[in-house]
Amino acid sequence: MLNTLLFGFAVSLIIALALGPLVIRELKKFHARQSEREEGPESHKYKAGTPTMGGLTFYLGVLVGVVLGYTVLALSVAMDLRKGLALFLTLGHGVIGFLDDSIKAVKHRNLGLTARQKLAGQFVMAAVFCFILKEYLNFPTTVWIPFTTWNIDFGMAYYAFVFIMIVGTSNAVNLTDGLDGLAAGSCAITSVAYVVISVALGYVNFAVFSAALTGACLGFLFYNQHPAKMFMGDTGSLALGGALAAMAILTKTELLLIIAGGLYVIEALSVIIQVVSFKTRGVRVFKMSPIHHHFELGGWSETRVVAVFSIVTAILCLIAYIGIAG
């Protein structure tokens, strides 16, 4: 089992590392370059022109890592519907992000798909995922409460809960992708946690998906660490959000993701609080949202913010593990 996990991780890591220079070169030819927001931090202006859509390196890495992890070492395809669904949610969200980033590149602007178009795509992905859960997997509609032995049966409301969870997680990770290495690094840490969680809860085969995702994130991080040679774009951030949601749902640890993925919850809440406060009271709670920009404008360096947020993510993942081990 350990060999399978390490193999899936290693294959995904090597592919992501190997694809990096090729992807950077081709993105430059395609003029898929970052356009910094006018309202963004002044310290980010130099990033304009950096190749984006680097999330493409995730796709092949995760796909090959997962498939070979099962076929070469498990001696069977073993690609059951559960693992296929995880890949579907990851790659499907990646396609939405790819379309968004491609429009930005072609039209040379910072906005691609409209908010409604992007949400429509996410709604379709979440709806198809829920339909397959119900009709083909006969998936349990219970939700486990972390740190307890309680399981609450949501009945049909469970699918509405999963729908919201998928859309919310993909958008939360997308909001987190604002600093070099932040989204990729934090997702690598969370993915490692889900390797351990999956094994501990008996989802050993599914752990290969988490291991492959970890390898893909670390391979991309080599090129995305400060100063970044390429950005993942929505191509990568939406895919990572879909992957995290899939891991939590398919291991029946839906609420545990609120803890392990607490960073994404905080980032999303900071935006919601900022918008609501400004629209209702005309007051900004933070210097800028998402909250990582607040710390930047408060005098923290980009690398310090990423380091602290990564440590926070690791601590939250440890707490999440205690939640199942206890």
Quick: pLDDT tens for 211-249: 999 999 999 999 999 999 999 999 999 999 999 999 999
> Helix or strand or coil: residue 110?
coil
Lowest mean pLDDT among 51-65, 130-144, 195-209, 286-300: 51-65
Instruction: Give pLDDT tens digits for 94-103.
Output: 999 999 988 8
Burial class of residue 141, CB neighbours in 10 A (0-12, 13-18, 19+) = middle
> Helix or strand or coil: residue 142?
strand
For residue 30, the model assigns a pLDDT of: 73
Q: Is the pTM of this model over 0.75?
A: yes
For residue 104, the model assigns a pLDDT of: 78
Lowest mean pLDDT among 2-11, 58-67, 119-128, 170-179: 58-67
Cα–Cα distance measured from residue 224 to residue 37, given in angstroms and rounded to the nearest whole number: 19
Lowest mean pLDDT among 4-8, 146-150, 199-203, 270-274: 4-8
pLDDT class of 77 with cuts at 50, 70, 90: very low
For residue 76, the model assigns a pLDDT of: 47
Mean pLDDT of 112-118: 87
For residue 59, the model assigns a pLDDT of: 79
CA 295 to chain centre: 22
Mean pLDDT of 137-150: 92
Question: 51: cis peptide before it, omega within 30°?
Answer: no
